[in-house]
A and B are shown apart, each in its own frame.
Chain A
C-alpha cells in the first residue's frame, strides 16, 4: 500500500521528507468538506480556496467523487455551472448583507444619549435643589414608610429644611441600625452628605 505516514492527524508524508504544502492543503480541504475541520485551519482553507481557482476545481472534483458514489450525477451529464453562474453574478452588485449597525455608530444614537443625559441632569438638579414648590420626602418618626411633606418657603428656608431633614434621616437610620433594623436609608444618607454639610439639629 502506498501509505504515507500521518503527522498530527493532518497531511501524511514519507518519513524524513518535507511536507508537500499542496497535499497538506488538500488534506485539510478534504477534512473541511466533511465538516471535520474547524477553527483557524478551516479559515485558512477557505481563504486559500478563495485565492486559488485550481483548488476550487479540486474541491469540485472531490465532491464529484461523492456525487458519483451516491448516484447524484444527472443523467443529462456532468457539467460545471460555476463559471456561468459567476459571470451572471459578476454583472450584478455584490449581495453583501447589511449587518446591524452598532448602536454607537447609529446617527440617532448620539441624539438619544444627549437627551437622556439632559434629562438626568435636570432630574438630579431638581432632587438636590428643591424649589419652593418642590415636595420633599421625609420619613415619619414612627413609621418605616416615607411620607411626603409639602413645603412653601423661600430658598434659604429650603436649604435649612434640607439640612435638618438630612440630620433627621441620619439619626433615624442610626437608631434603626442600633436596634437591629436594616439600614435601608444609608445609601440615601450618603448621597445627601455629598450635597450638603450636616449640621447638628435635634430631630423633631
Chain B
C-alpha cells in the first residue's frame, strides 16, 4: 500500500510547526471514521458529533507531545475512545457495547439500524444523496477507472500493485485514479449543503 502513514506524519509535523490548516486536512480525512467509532459508545448522533469534535480538539492540544511512535490514527483512535467513554460516564449511562472496545475498529457489528431511528432526517437525506451520487458516478465510470479506484480504496493496493494487477504503467494508475476521483467530485459538487 502507498505510504499514507507518511502523509499523516507530514501533516502532523506541519501542525507541530504551527500550521493549523494541516490539522484541518487531518480532521477532514478522519472525521467520518471517528464519528462512526464514537457512535459505538454514544447513542445520540448529535452527541456523537460533539464527542468526535472534542476528541479532535483534545488531539490537537496533545499534538506537541506526539512523537510518532504509533500511526496518527492509532493515537487519535485512543483519544476518541477515551473521550467517548468519559462522555458516557459523565452521563451515567452504560456504553452501547463494551465488547467493541476490545474489537477491531472495523468491527462488523452494524449499528446502522439501531441509530437510524434517532438520526435527523436532514442528515440522513444528505448522507443518502451523497452515497447514491458517489455509487452512481462510480457505476458510470469507464471500467479501467472504476477498477483502479476499487483496487485502491477498497483493497488498499499501492500504485505499483495496481499497475501489476492491471498490467499498465504506474503513471497510468495515477492518472486513472485522479480521473475517477475528479469525475465523482464533479457530481458531488452539485449537491447542495456539501462542502
Chain A residues in the interface with B (C-beta under 8 A) = 1-2, 4, 6, 8-12, 23, 26-27, 30-36, 38, 42, 46, 49-50, 56-70, 72-82, 84-86, 88-90, 92, 94-98
Contacts and interface: CB of A to CB of B under 8 A. Distances in A.
Interface in B124-176: 124, 126-127, 130-131, 134-135, 138, 142, 144, 149-150, 152-154, 158-159, 169-172, 174-175
Given A59-B28, A64-B134, 17 more contacts: A4-B175, A32-B7, A35-B3, A61-B189, A61-B194, A65-B134, A67-B33, A69-B153, A80-B195, A81-B35, A81-B56, A86-B20, A89-B23, A95-B63, A95-B64, A96-B17, A96-B64
16 contacts: A2-B142, A26-B178, A27-B178, A30-B177, A30-B178, A35-B4, A65-B149, A68-B135, A69-B150, A75-B112, A75-B116, A76-B39, A76-B49, A77-B119, A81-B49, A98-B64
A81 B53 contact: yes
Contacts of A72: 32-33, 36
Q: Which 7 residue pairs spanning A and B have beta carbons closest together?
A: A77-B123, A9-B171, A76-B45, A35-B2, A60-B28, A35-B3, A97-B16
Contacts of B49: 76, 79, 81
A35 B175 contact: no
B36 A74 contact: yes
B175 to A, nearest CB: 4
B57 interface: yes
B126 A56 contact: no
Given A81-B53, A89-B23, A95-B64, A74 B195 contact: no
B119 A75 contact: yes
Contacts of B127: 73, 77-78
A31 B170 CA distance: 11
A73 B182 CA distance: 20
Given A32-B7, A75-B116, A77-B123, A82 B27 contact: yes
Contact of B52 (A30, A32, A81): A81
A162 B108 CA distance: 88
The secondary structure that dominates the B interface is helix
Most chain B beta-carbon neighbours within 10 Å: one of A10, A31, A34 = A34
A33 B10 CA distance: 11
Contacts of B2: 34-36
Contacts, number: 221
A170 B17 CA distance: 61
A5 to B, nearest CB: 9
A137 to B, nearest CB: 50
B31 A73 contact: no
A168 B5 CA distance: 69
Nearest to B11: A46
Contacts of B21: 49-50, 56
Contacts of A23: 182
Contact of B53 (A36, A50, A67, A85): A85
